[in-house]
Structure 1
Amino acid sequence: MSIFRAALFVSVSFCASVASAQDAPALAPDVGTAESDQIIVTGRAQRLYRTETTTVGKSAEDPLDIPQALQVINKDLFADQGARDATDIYRNISGVSFFSYAGVTFRGFRQDQSFYDGMRGNPFIGFSVPQLFNIERVEVLKGPAGLFFGPGSPGGIINYVSKVPGDTSAMRLVATAGNYDRRGISAEATGPVDKDGIVTYRLGGFYEAMNPYRRNTKNVSLIGDGGLAIKTNDGGKLTLQATVYDNDLQANRLRGILTDNDGNFLTDIRWNANEPTDFLHLKSQAYQARYATAIGERVTFDAGVRYFKATETQQYHEPRGLVAGSTDLVAREFRDQIRDVDGLSFSVNLTARVDLLGMEHKFQTGADWYDETSVLHSRILRAGVTPLSLSNPVYTNSARDVARAALLPFTVTDTRTKRQGAYLQDQISLSEAFMLVGGVRYDKFEDAVVNAASYEDDDITFRTGAIYKPRKDVSVYLSWSQSFEPQTAASQNGDVGGPFAPVTGDQFEGGIKTDLFDGRLQANLAAYRIVRKNILQADTSLPPVNGQDQLRPIGEVTSKGFEIDLSTDITANWVALVNYGYNDTKITGTIAGQAITNAVGNRFANAPKHKVGFWTRYQVPAIDAAFAVGGEHVSKRISLSGQTVKPYTIFDASIIKGLGFAELMLRVDNIFDKVYAASGFSAQSGHFPGEPRTFLAELRFQF
Structure 2
Amino acid sequence: MTSPSRALRARTLGLLLLSVQPLCSLPVFAAGSSQHYSIDAGPLDAALSRFGAQAGITMAGSSTLTAGKNTQGLQGDFSTEAGLTQLLLGSGLTYQRQDDGSLLLVPSSSDVLELAPTAISGTAYDTSLGRNDGLVASRTMSANKTDTSIMETPQSISVVTRKQIDAQQPQSIGQVLRYTAGVNGEANGVDTRRDTISIRGFDATTGGGIYRDGLRQYSFANQSRAVGEVYGLERVEVLRGPSSVLYGQSSPGGMVNVISKRPTDEPLHELVVQAGSFDRKQLAADFGGPLSDDGVLSYRLTGLWRESGTQIDYARDDRQFIAPAISWRPSEDTSLTVLASFQKDRNVLGYYALPRVGTLDSSRYGRIATDRFVGDPDFDKYDVEQWSLGYQFEHHLNDIWTFRQNARYSRSYQEQRTIYQYGLDDDQRTVGRFGYLGHEEVKNALLDNHFQAQWNVGRFEHTTLVGVDLQHASTNQLGGGNVVDPLDIYAPVYHQDYSDLDAFYDINQRRQLDQVGVYLSEQLKFDDHWVFNLGGRQDWARSKTIHYATDTAADLKQRDHAFTWRTGVMYLADNGVAPYASYSESFFPNITAVARDGSAFEPETGRQYEVGIKFQPKGSDSYVTVSLFDLTRQNVLTADPANNRFSVATGEIQSRGIELESKAQLSDALELMANYSYSHLEITRSNTADEKGNQPGNTPERLASLWSQYTVQSGALSGLAIGGGVRYVGPSYIDSQNSEGIPHYTLFDASLSYDLGKLSSSYAGAKLALNASNLTDETYVSQCGYTGDSCKYGYRRNVTGSLSYNW
Could you state the TM-score of these two structures normalised by the residue count of structure 1? 0.88
CA shift for structure 1 position 129: 3.0
**Counterpart-to-counterpart distance in 1, 2:123 and 2:396:** 33
Match of 2:200 in 1: 107
Tell me whether 1:79 sits opposite 2:173 in the alignment: no
> Do the aligned residues in 2 keep the contact of 1:449 with 1:490 (CA within 8 Å)?
no
Against the structure 1 CA distance between its residues 627 and 358, is the aligned structure 2 distance closer, same or farther, given a 3 Å change threshold? closer
Deviation digits for residues 99-139 of structure 1 (CA, Å, limit 9, x no counterpart): 22412222111221211111123589626532212111111
Match of 1:688 in 2: 792
SS in 1 for 2:237: strand
Deviation digits for residues 137-174 of structure 1 (CA, Å, limit 9, x no counterpart): 11110000011111111000001111111011110000
**Counterpart-to-counterpart distance in 2, 1:226 and 1:125:** 27
**Counterpart-to-counterpart distance in 2, 1:204 and 1:30:** 24
1:243-392 equivalences in 2 (<5 Å): 243-250=341-348, 252-260=349-357, 263-264=360-361, 266-277=367-378, 278-323=380-425, 325-356=426-457, 358-382=459-483, 385-392=484-491
Deviation digits for residues 409-432 of structure 1 (CA, Å, limit 9, x no counterpart): 342121101111011111222322
**Counterpart-to-counterpart distance in 2, 1:31 and 1:702:** 17
SS in 2 for 1:327: coil
Tell me whether 1:50 sits opposite 2:124 in the alignment: no
Match of 1:678 in 2: 782
SS in 2 for 1:604: coil
Deviation digits for residues 265-317 of structure 1 (CA, Å, limit 9, x no counterpart): 74111112121121100100011011013344443321011000001110011
**Counterpart-to-counterpart distance in 1, 2:645 and 2:358:** 31
Instruction: Give the letter for the 1:77 counterpart.
Output: Q
SS in 2 for 1:49: coil
CA shift for structure 1 position 69: 0.3
Match of 1:527 in 2: 628
Match of 1:697 in 2: 801
> Do the aligned residues in 2 keep the contact of 1:351 with 1:362 (CA within 8 Å)?
yes
Instruction: Give the letter for the 1:620 counterpart.
Output: V
CA shift for structure 1 position 643: 4.0
> Do the aligned residues in 2 keep the contact of 1:254 with 1:272 (CA within 8 Å)?
no
Tell me whether 1:461 sits opposite 2:564 in the alignment: yes
SS in 1 for 2:174: helix
Identity, % of aligned positions: 23
CA shift for structure 1 position 32: 9.6
Structure 2 unaligned blocks of 5 or more: 1-39, 55-73, 76-121, 125-132, 189-193, 548-554, 758-762
Tell me whether 1:649 sits opposite 2:750 in the alignment: no
CA shift for structure 1 position 551: 4.5
Against the structure 1 CA distance between its residues 130 and 182, is the aligned structure 2 distance closer, same or farther, given a 3 Å change threshold? same
> Do the aligned residues in 2 keep the contact of 1:418 with 1:446 (CA within 8 Å)?
yes
Deviation digits for residues 180-206 of structure 1 (CA, Å, limit 9, x no counterpart): 111111111101112212111111210
Tell me whether 1:120 sits opposite 2:216 in the alignment: yes
CA shift for structure 1 position 45: 9.7
Against the structure 1 CA distance between its residues 194 and 592, is the aligned structure 2 distance closer, same or farther, given a 3 Å change threshold? closer
**Counterpart-to-counterpart distance in 2, 1:356 and 1:549:** 60
Instruction: Give the letter for the 1:629 counterpart.
Output: G
Match of 2:538 in 1: 442
Match of 1:636 in 2: 731
> Do the aligned residues in 1 keep the contact of 2:161 with 2:236 (CA within 8 Å)?
yes
Q: 1:219 aligns with which of 317, 340, 343?
A: 317
Instruction: Give the letter for the 2:140 counterpart.
Output: T
Deviates more, 1:145-154 or 1:600-609: 600-609
Tell me whether 1:186 sits opposite 2:284 in the alignment: yes
Match of 1:4 in 2: none
SS in 2 for 1:89: helix
> Do the aligned residues in 2 keep the contact of 1:381 with 1:404 (CA within 8 Å)?
no
**Counterpart-to-counterpart distance in 2, 1:649 and 1:329:** 32
Q: 2:671 aligns with which of 558, 564, 575?
A: 575
Match of 2:501 in 1: 405
SS in 1 for 2:680: strand
Against the structure 1 CA distance between its residues 539 and 532, is the aligned structure 2 distance closer, same or farther, given a 3 Å change threshold? same
> Do the aligned residues in 1 keep the contact of 2:263 with 2:299 (CA within 8 Å)?
yes
**Counterpart-to-counterpart distance in 1, 2:690 and 2:478:** 31
* Larger RCO: 1 or 2 (CA < 8 Å, sep 6+): 1
> Do the aligned residues in 1 keep the contact of 2:614 with 2:623 (CA within 8 Å)?
yes
**Counterpart-to-counterpart distance in 1, 2:666 and 2:783:** 34
CA shift for structure 1 position 580: 0.8
Match of 1:618 in 2: 710
CA shift for structure 1 position 333: 0.6
SS in 2 for 1:387: strand
SS in 2 for 1:603: coil
CA shift for structure 1 position 571: 3.3
RMSD: 2.7
**Counterpart-to-counterpart distance in 2, 1:143 and 1:488:** 22
Structure 1 unaligned blocks of 5 or more: 1-22, 38-43
Instruction: Give the letter for the 1:476 counterpart.
Output: P
**Counterpart-to-counterpart distance in 1, 2:693 and 2:656:** 18
Instruction: Give the letter for the 2:734 counterpart.
Output: S
> Do the aligned residues in 1 keep the contact of 2:392 with 2:406 (CA within 8 Å)?
yes
Against the structure 1 CA distance between its residues 257 and 550, is the aligned structure 2 distance closer, same or farther, given a 3 Å change threshold? closer
SS in 2 for 1:48: coil
Deviates more, 1:178-187 or 1:641-650: 641-650
CA shift for structure 1 position 515: 1.7
Deviates more, 1:272-281 or 1:306-315: 272-281
CA shift for structure 1 position 434: 1.4
Match of 1:136 in 2: 234
Match of 1:470 in 2: 573
**Counterpart-to-counterpart distance in 1, 2:588 and 2:289:** 42
Instruction: Give the letter for the 1:446 counterpart.
Output: R
Deviation digits for residues 217-267 of structure 1 (CA, Å, limit 9, x no counterpart): 2221110110111013323210112100000113x1141232239924741
Q: Which has the larger radius of gyration?
A: 2
SS in 2 for 1:130: coil
Q: 2:587 aligns with which of 477, 484, 487?
A: 484
Match of 1:11 in 2: none
Deviation digits for residues 372-399 of structure 1 (CA, Å, limit 9, x no counterpart): 00122111112xx121222212222x4x
CA shift for structure 1 position 28: 6.7
> Do the aligned residues in 2 keep the contact of 1:262 with 1:645 (CA within 8 Å)?
no
CA shift for structure 1 position 25: 9.9
Match of 1:171 in 2: 269
Divergent runs of 4+, >4 A = 23-37, 44-47, 122-125, 548-551
**Counterpart-to-counterpart distance in 2, 1:187 and 1:32:** 21
**Counterpart-to-counterpart distance in 1, 2:530 and 2:297:** 42
Tell me whether 1:590 sits opposite 2:692 in the alignment: no
**Counterpart-to-counterpart distance in 2, 1:562 and 1:102:** 25
**Counterpart-to-counterpart distance in 2, 1:644 and 1:25:** 60
